[in-house]
């Protein structure tokens, strides 16, 4: 199952990208659902110095492993490696940034969720909750970036 959330931020694409990548291990600065984050591992992806981000939220600790990094296209992906609910096989997220028509930055999150066997029956409940979390995360980023201007 796949879903997309997006938001336009009144900030240059280079500043948004810098916050997302240079500040990747400090997501708690702008994402109000994260209480702590840390980077670890060395990356096989060209231009990236880390392979994993661990985020701590009320729901637990989650490891996000980088799977794609294309800075010239302002895009990166990660998959959640540990502590998924028993009915979820895989969750991956791709972030993409583009210039909007009026010079702002359009931030797009593309989420893919793979359920285990009968886990898809819970999709009716799980996907709306994930969409809500994604929208909140993008709104947090927007609020943070626009307050920096």
Q: What does the pLDDT look like over 8-25, one tens digit per residue?
A: 999 999 999 999 999 999
Q: Indicate the average pLDDT of the chain.
A: 93
pLDDT (0 to 100) of residue 149: 65
Residue 101 confidence (pLDDT) above 90: no
- Nearest residue to 41 (alpha-carbon basis) of 58, 24, 56, 28: 24
- Give the structural domain span for 20: 2-148
- Collapsed DSSP state (helix, strand, coil) of residue 90: strand
The domain total for the chain is 1
- CATH number at 94 reads 3.30.530.20
Helices (H), the chain: 13-21, 123-148
The string of pLDDT tens digits covering residues 106-145 is 999 999 999 888 777 777 788 888 999 999 999 999 999 9
- Collapsed DSSP state (helix, strand, coil) of residue 26: helix
Q: Model-level pTM greater than 0.85?
A: yes
């Amino acid at each position: 199952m796949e879903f997309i959330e997006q938001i336009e931020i009144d900030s240059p694409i280079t500043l948004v990208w810098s916050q997302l990548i240079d500040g990747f291990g400090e997501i708690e600065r702008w994402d109000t659902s994260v209480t702590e984050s840390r980077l670890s591992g060395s990356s096989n992806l060209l231009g990236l110095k880390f392979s994993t981000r661990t985020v701590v939220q009320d729901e637990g600790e989650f490891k996000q492993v980088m799977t794609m990094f294309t800075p010239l296209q302002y895009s990166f992906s990660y998959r959640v490696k540990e502590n998924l609910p028993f009915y979820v096989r895989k969750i991956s997220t791709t972030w993409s940034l583009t210039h909007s028509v009026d010079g702002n930055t359009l931030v797009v999150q593309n989420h893919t969720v793979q359920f285990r066997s009968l886990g898809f029956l819970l999709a009716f409940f799980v996907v709306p909750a994930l969409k809500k979390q994604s929208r909140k995360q993008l709104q947090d980023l927007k609020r943070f970036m626009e307050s920096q201007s």
